[in-house]
Amino acid sequence: MINTDAIIIGAGPTGLFAVHQLGIIGLKCEIIDNLDRSGGQCIELYPDKPIYDIPAIPECTGEELTNGLLKQIEPFKAGFHLGQRVDEIKKENNLWILKTNKGNLFSAPNIIIAGGVGSFEPRKLAFKEAEKFEGSQIFYSITNKDLFKNKKISIFGGGDSALDWALELSKSNEVTLIHRRTEFRGAAHTLSETKQKEKEGKILIKTPCNLKSIEGDKVMSGIEIEYEDGKLEKIKTDYILSFFGLIMKLGPIAEWGLNIDKKTIPVDTENFQTNKEGIFAVGDICTYPGKLKLILSGFHEAALAARACFKRAKPNETYRFEFTTASKSIHDRLGVKK
């Protein structure tokens, strides 16, 4: 069990800045995210797209913003727990106890939920029959490519993940790449390499078509695809790999007894506390009259929630507002050299 002053759920820009705001007022924290890297939507949805409304930064990408925040919070040495999702919370006396899906336990008087629109999960194939083959013959991500040696593989999707895996797996497998339209979107060199492999007969490309049905009872034996003009084609398939990006699901947060309004959590704008004492919500996941889903709003919300955490983390101390320009104790926490 890790004991700390505050646990932040979600390592997107707002969660990362919450580490900073807790850190400068002398609070320790641990941060947990379902993704295996920090940055949240900035990294998953638009790492290369420019953002123009971060104060004093005329233009930066989602990745640059994330890296800047990570650098800014380095001095506080927060514990990062990536690739795991908080599944359960319960209250013991004045402390919240959290348990992740990897079985790790945390305890703190404060939880700051900076969960964005929920946790990212792969978008699954919309077929009932798909369910029974998931994890055995249908995959949405690949951890062990040796599984696919000398097999017939049908890959769905038109983006970089689909193309990259088609290229990689075409080295030792029969690969069919299936996409709903003739254009693929991917890095230029990936696209040209895919075209080359198609010419060489190493990758079969089927467009414009969609998955029509999955065949097989206990074991999937093949699939049927449907072209835009209605023509059907059967393809022998040992494995389906499907790359349709990520969706966001509120997930277990919905089960914690928090008030929820249209997938968001109403908060008190004085301290960003939810209906549960000691649980705060900041960033895209919180709502209040006038709420704007902007990164800069998340920063403000994190600043206020952090101050509210102080009272619960150090009930016998008085919080004093200080400026980072002038405070010696903040300089010490930041490791500023004289």
Positions that interact with another protein (CB under 8 A): 41, 45-46, 117, 123, 126, 157-159, 179-181, 183, 185, 210, 228, 244-245, 247-248, 263, 284, 293
* Tokens, residue 297: 């709003």
For the beta sheet containing 239-242, the strands, ordered from the edge strand earlier in sequence to the opposite edge, are 138-139, 239-242, 152-156, 174-178, 203-206
DSSP reduced 3-state for 54:
strand
Answer whether 92's CB lies under 8 Å from 99's CB.
no
Smallest distance, another protein to C-beta of residue 166, A: 15
Instruction: Please name every residue paired with 175 in a beta bridge, in sequence order, or none if there are none.
Output: 153, 203
Amino acid at 223: I
Question: Which residue type occupies 118?
Answer: G
Compute the least distance from the CB of residue 293 to another protein, in Å: 5
Nearer to another protein, 34 or 110 (CB): 34
- Closest distance of CB 90 from another protein, Å: 29
Min dist. Cβ of residue 149 to another protein (A): 28
For residues 99 and 293, which CB has a smaller minimum distance to another protein in the complex?
A: 293
Measured distance CA(227)–CA(233) in Å, rounded: 8
* Shortest Å distance, C-beta 284 to another protein: 7
Residue 15 or 157: the one with the smaller Cβ distance to another protein is: 157
* Identity of the residue, 66 or 273, whose beta carbon is nearer to another protein in the bound complex: 66
Asked whether the beta carbons of 25 and 310 are under 8 A apart, the reply is: yes
Cα–Cα dist 81/88, whole Å: 15
Give the residue with the Cβ less far from another protein, 68 or 122: 122
Tokens for 159, please give them.
Answer: 């983006």
Is the Cβ–Cβ distance between 207 and 179 less than 8 Å? Answer: yes
